[in-house]
Amino acid sequence: MPTDTFYNLPNSKKEKIIKAAQKEFARVEFEQTSIKNIVEEAEIARGSFYQYFESKEDLLKYILELHTGDIENKIQRILISNNGDIFSLFIDMYNSMLEECTNESKFKFFRRIIENIKTSQGSILESGKPEKILEKNKNLVNQTNLRIKTEEDYKTIIRILESITIKAMATTFQFKSKEEAKKEYYREIEFLKNGILKNKESEA
Partner DNA sequence: ATATAATTATGACACTGTGTCATTTTATTG
Partner DNA sequence: CAATAAAATGACACAGTGTCATAATTATAT
Q: Footprint of a second copy on this chain (CB under 8 A)?
A: 29, 31-32, 114-120, 122, 145-147, 152-153, 156-157, 159-160, 163-164, 166-167, 169-171, 173-174, 184, 187-188, 191-202
Minimal CA–CA distance to 62: which of 17, 94, 103, 29? 17
CA 139 vs. chain centroid, Å, equals 23
- Shortest distance in whole angstroms from residue 109 CB to DNA: 18
Q: Which amino acid is at 45?
A: A
Among 11, 12, 45, 197, binds DNA (CB under 7 A): 45
Among 18, 19, 30, 35, binds DNA (CB under 7 A): 35
Among 47, 150, 201, 202, binds DNA (CB under 7 A): 47
Minimal CA–CA distance to 21: which of 55, 51, 68? 55
Distance (Å, rounded) from C-alpha 192 to C-alpha 165?
11
Distance (Å, rounded) from C-alpha 74 to C-alpha 68?
9
Polymer length in residues for the chain? 204
Which entry of a second copy, DNA, none binds 196, CB below 5 to 8 A by partner kind?
a second copy
- Shortest distance in whole angstroms from residue 202 CB to a second copy: 7
Q: Cβ distance 68 to 50 under 8 Å?
A: no
Q: Which residues bind DNA (CB under 7 A)?
A: 4-5, 8-9, 13, 33-37, 44-48, 50-52, 55-56
